[in-house]
Amino acid sequence: MRNRMNTRSSRLMVTFSHPFALAGYADELPAGGYEVIVEEELIQGLSFEAYRTTATYLLVHGRGGRSGRTELRLITQKDLETALNRDSEFHT
């Protein structure tokens, strides 16, 4: 029996042109580039390979007194899309 990996992760970069906030977090984050990590798991029992998202994280690098620290913030894809849409509305 072959051992298959049942999870995978992907990384992407998003850029905010303006400071932004995410649901569930009180602080406002500065404009800039942020790395997003999406974790997915294989859906078992299908006749084809398909994955479902199990977690989405935003990497937040510390600034000022927290410089050198990186925080992995659990977010939802919907909250990320909402923040990116709000940011793009500033470009009208």
Digit-coded pLDDT (tens) for 3-62: 456 999 999 999 999 999 998 888 899 999 999 999 999 998 889 999 999 999 999 987
- The per-residue pLDDT for 23 is 86
Question: Which pLDDT tens digit goes with each residue over 65-80?
Answer: 556 688 999 999 999 9
Q: How far is it between the farthest Cα atoms of the chain? A: 57
- Domain boundaries, given as residue ranges, for the chain: 7-89
Q: How far from each other are the two terminal CA atoms of the chain, in whole angstroms? A: 57
Question: What is the sign of the dihedral through the CA atoms of 27, 20, 76 and 36?
Answer: negative
pTM over 0.85: no
